[in-house]
Amino acid sequence: MKRCIMMLLATVVMAQGVFAQEKSITIWWAQWDPAVALQELGDEFTEQTGIGVEVHQIPWLSYQDQVFLNFGNKQTDFDIVIGDSQWIGRGATKGLYLELTDWLPGAVDMQTIHPRAARYLCEYPPGSSKFFAAPCETDAIGFVYRKDWFEDPDEKAAFKTKYGRELMVPETWEEFRDIAEFFQRPAQKRYGCSLLTGRGYDSIVMGFQPFLWAWGGAWGDPETFKVQGHLNSAGAVAGLDFFKGLMHFTPEGGTNADYFFNLEAFSNGSTAMVLDYFPFYPGIVATMGDQAGFFKVPSHNGQRFISLGGQGFSISTKTTPEKQALAKQFIAWFSQTEIQKKWITYPGSFTANTELLSSEAFAAASPYNTTFAESLDDLQDFWNVPVYNELIAASVRHLGAALDGTVASADALNALAQEHEMIMMEAGLLEMK
């Protein structure tokens, strides 16, 4: 009898386990601080609703590969994927992301979402009001600089003598160039700047874009997908030349600097100004404190453009309708202003909620938050068409060759424009010649 009762109890416990497991969702995201924060909020959601949330973190270098390999299965191991902004076209057109057009505006107050975040993180095609994602992590690139060097009286005096103006945070790229040149002292192991020029995934693209757009170039025409005349225009070539010119003021290896190289270049105390995504900065603030300051990407002739980063929540079409419903429940919960208030208190977690972005609490929460909030109005993104990865890969090769000095800027952009058009043609976006 005792044995029977024990078996019965064990069966009940196991059954509970099975049911508890059924009421849960799995989220895939890259391995970084915001993912840790999302897991903590997920635990809070579980406490409130009984729905389990598991945030599975994958190293950045293999994140994209693993996600799309998993999408090749009949059923994905995740219910929600927090995908890069460029992925949305592939997710939407290949039927991988669940369309949220009918659901999202009712569940999330889209009036509170920053328009640039809505356009690039949630919609495909951008501006079409067809939603395939909800905002999760809104992101932008911005500079971290050595505040202590900029405030040093001797440095200030020397700078004023040399350039005839005060040493202060640069407003324009031309001012930026002077400051980088001023601090470039390789003999002292001190360097002017480190920009994004890495060849691993998209860092050289994110680093080049602000120059391309500010100098009047573009990746192409978003309506016709024509690239020639935009990407290889005189403005684009001048922008690339300026970008290339700044390579004289970088540390050794600065022509191939990815997001992690730049963090190292700043953390080791050698570089005056470093470009990176804002969610990488909590670690710098923790280790360098008041030595670090932050500023927006500079402008050229009054034109300022900033590379967008960040990811949205997309629901997999290759999961059960029950899981999709739970996923929607979680996204709606996460998007509430009250939860977003908690979200922004975690290191490196940024919101798209305009009310919070302009709040004093957000500004006071970290030394880079004000710069981040000011950057959002100037955000712009790379192509997010289904063949985005081929376009990035081609850009990496040709821009890399220009920075390495193996080809001239104009030749690199001509070749890149030609290859981008061929990729667009192959994808059926541009008519085949």
Q: Which of residues 161-220 bind another protein (CB under 8 A)?
A: 199-200
Q: Which segments of 170-232 does DSSP mark as H helices, in order?
A: 173-183, 203-214
72 lines the binding site for another protein (CB under 8 A): yes
20 lines the binding site for another protein (CB under 8 A): no
Closest distance of CB 287 from another protein, Å? 17
Closest distance of CB 316 from another protein, Å? 11
Q: Which run of H or E residues covers position 28?
A: strand 24-30
Residue of the chain from 86, 184, 209, 255 that contacts another protein (CB under 8 A): 255
Q: How far is CA 263 from CA 102, 194, 278, 299, 391, in A?
A: 41, 9, 11, 23, 26
Stretch that binds another protein, among 216-224, 245-253, 285-293, 298-306 (CB under 8 A): 245-253
| Cβ distance to another protein smaller for residue 147 or 420 | 420
Closest distance of CB 373 from another protein, Å? 34
In 3-state terms, the chain is what percent helix, strand and coil (to 5)? 55, 15, 30
| Cβ distance to another protein smaller for residue 381 or 419 | 419
| β strands within 117-270, DSSP E | 134-146, 191-194
Residue of the chain from 40, 43, 99, 264 that contacts another protein (CB under 8 A): 264
Stretch that binds another protein, among 93-101, 176-184, 288-296, 319-327 (CB under 8 A): 93-101
Angle at 380 between CA 374 and CA 381, to 5 degrees: 135
Residue of the chain from 401, 410, 411, 414 that contacts another protein (CB under 8 A): 401
User: What is the C-alpha separation between 46 and 272, in angstroms, rounded?
Assistant: 44
CB atoms within 10 A of CB 358: 10
Relative orientation angle of helices 234-245 and 409-426, to the nearest 10 degrees: 120
103 lines the binding site for another protein (CB under 8 A): no
Closest distance of CB 194 from another protein, Å? 11
| Cβ distance to another protein smaller for residue 106 or 253 | 253
Closest distance of CB 70 from another protein, Å? 9
User: What is the C-alpha separation between 243 and 237, in angstroms, rounded?
Assistant: 10
DSSP class of residue 85 equals G
Stretch that binds another protein, among 39-47, 69-77, 178-186, 332-340 (CB under 8 A): 69-77
Query: The tokens 């505040």 sit on which residue?
Result: 147
User: What is the C-alpha separation between 82 and 59, in angstroms, rounded?
Assistant: 13
329 lines the binding site for another protein (CB under 8 A): no
Peptide bond into 125 cis (omega under 30): yes
Q: Pick from 433, 423, 416: which is nearest to 230 by CA? A: 416
Residue of the chain from 63, 71, 149, 383 that contacts another protein (CB under 8 A): 71
Q: Which of residues 29-68 bind another protein (CB under 8 A)?
A: 64-65, 68
287 lines the binding site for another protein (CB under 8 A): no
Positions in the binding site for another protein (CB under 8 A): 64-65, 68-69, 71-72, 90, 94-96, 199-200, 251-253, 255-256, 264, 387, 389-390, 393, 396-397, 400-401, 404, 406, 419, 422, 426
